[in-house]
Amino acid sequence: MSAAGPALPHLRALSRFAFAGAAAVGTVLLALPASAHVTVSPGSAQPGSAAVLTFHVPNEEANADVNQVDLQIPTDHPIAQLLVQPVPGWTISVRTATLAKPLVTDDGKFSQAVSEVIWSGGKVAPGQFQDFTVSADPLPAGISQLTFKTIQTYSNGDVVRWIDVSQPGQAEPEHPAAVLTLSAGSAAGSDSAAVKPAAVPPSSSTETRSAGSDAVARGAAFGALACGLGALALGWLNRRRRTVLAPAPTPAPAPAPIPTRAPKSPPAGATPARAGSRRDTARH
């Protein structure tokens, strides 16, 4: 009993930690999907160059598939030639818009440009993602970034609009649009890359940071899960230990025996009284 006494408070503390750990697991796991935005890779490219752009589209729902992705191409700074890489199982629909002012490039004059690319008929299951790739030639010059708005449709009818534009000095919006930074010092875009879009690996710093942050978040989630399960096990051992080490009930003391009186012995030499002695005495 003396050895079990000091251990029980520690086990009770671990039991309380078990519930805290389980709550932390739930919080971390629920927070994970928030980091799964639609992103573009590479994150930066050189203005005026040809580049292969890959859009990373994750499924954020638990019970529905992504069955349509609608990528909107900016037309205020149009891309003269935009080609779409086929994706097995998906149907591609390309829409164009007539430009208010024709676009002149080394390849000629263009009065129309692609304004929208729609992939449909495929499936991105829960817990999975799909990459959609296009080749842009050339990227616009004279601007610092291109914003690609994306509309994601699920099999249960849910629609997620990745169209919010981040503002300097403000928190990131809930559904940010994918942004390609245009920098003269970037060597991400090249004519050779545009010729073979499938051979370009997603090696941009933006995607690497995004993948790294997702990996860290998931690692933290599984670490919290392990801690929570371990603490729950210790809590169960605490309850079992208290049950095994509980003191047995003390039996009630037996009632004290009632003393009995022994009959008095007659004095030595006395004659025991006989029946009828009183009548004899009366007659005399």
Per-residue tens of pLDDT for the chain, all 284 residues: 444 454 445 545 544 544 444 444 444 444 344 457 999 999 999 999 999 999 999 999 999 999 999 999 999 999 999 999 999 999 999 999 999 999 999 999 999 999 999 999 999 999 999 999 999 999 999 999 999 999 999 999 999 999 999 888 889 899 999 999 999 876 544 443 444 443 333 333 333 334 444 544 555 555 656 656 666 666 655 666 555 555 556 666 666 666 556 555 555 555 555 544 444 444 44
pLDDT at residue 266, as a whole number? 57
Any idea what DSSP says for residue 68? E
The CA-CA-CA angle for residues 186, 35, 188, to 5°, reads: 15
pLDDT at residue 28, as a whole number? 40
Measured between alpha carbons, how far is 178 from 186 in angstroms, rounded to an integer?
18
Handedness of CA 106, 109, 114, 115 (dihedral sign): positive
From the CA atom positions of the chain, what is the Rg in Å? Answer: 43
Single pTM value for the model: 0.58
Helix axes of 4-31 and 205-245: crossing angle, nearest 10 degrees: 150
pLDDT at residue 200, as a whole number? 36
pLDDT at residue 202, as a whole number? 37
**Quick check: 132 and 162 in contact, CB under 8 A?**
no
Measured between alpha carbons, how far is 271 from 281 in angstroms, rounded to an integer?
15
CB 200: neighbour CB atoms within 10 A?
Answer: 20
Strand partners, 131: 56
Q: Which residues contact 107 (CB under 8 A, 6 or more apart)?
A: 80, 81
We find that the CATH architecture of domain 43-201 is Sandwich (2.60)
Using DSSP, state whether 198 is helix, strand or coil: helix
| CA nearest to 50, candidates 26, 98, 74, 83 | 83
Measured between alpha carbons, how far is 70 from 56 in angstroms, rounded to an integer?
13
Ramachandran angles phi, psi of 66, nearest 5°:
-80, 125
Any idea what DSSP says for residue 176? B
